[in-house]
Homo-oligomer: A and B are copies of this chain.
Amino acid sequence: MFDVFEAYLRAKITLTDEELALIRAVAVVKHLRKWQYLAQAGDRWQSNCFVCPGCLRLYRVDDKGQEHILTFAVENSWIGDRQSLLSGGPAQSNVDALEDSTVLLFKDQDFQQLCHRIPAFQDLINTILARSFNATQNRIHAAISYSAEEKYQDFLRTSPHLVNRVPLAMIASYLGITAETLSRIRKQLAQK
């Protein structure tokens, strides 16, 4: 499974064989069954996680027991509770697999070392962070500006690959609306 990551890296940056070997040396492959947790709220999150093939979600559970999905991650993307990673405190979020999945884990310590030793890797990580920061910002804009229907339209635009891959109820949870409302919106859009 490391070759998926290798392809990903090579598409974005140039690495010597030694550098690649350094990275490979600290990567840990993990297989997840559908519904298996990668981490639960309360755990300490100490790794960076790259999704090879599969689909995971990061979500929180509120006082009323309701789940709210913060992110989906499919192959060639990263996922994790950065809050826990950064602070060293317990995670507020859960991460689990929506399909059988394979991920690559990098202990944060190893990961930091890679960043320091391989400038191109550091740059890549920075770019990714910046990009996901932007994506997050756009999501906020959507969340505070759009009606339920507009949110769904926006989702269709920004995440077409997820529309038929994750169940309706989860998309609703991601958008902050109820499954019933989303169902009605879909119907309405179909009739146009």
Interfacial residues, chain A to chain B (CB-CB below 8 A): 60, 62, 66, 68, 70, 82-83, 86, 126-127, 129-134, 136-141, 143-145, 173-176
Contact = CB atoms under 8 A, between A and B. Distances in A.
Copies in the complex: 2
Main SS class of interface, A: helix
Given A86-B131, A126-B126, A60 B136 contact: no
A125 B86 CA distance: 14
Contacts of A68: 141, 144-145
B144 A174 contact: yes
B66 A137 contact: no
B82 A137 contact: yes
Contacts of A176: 143-145
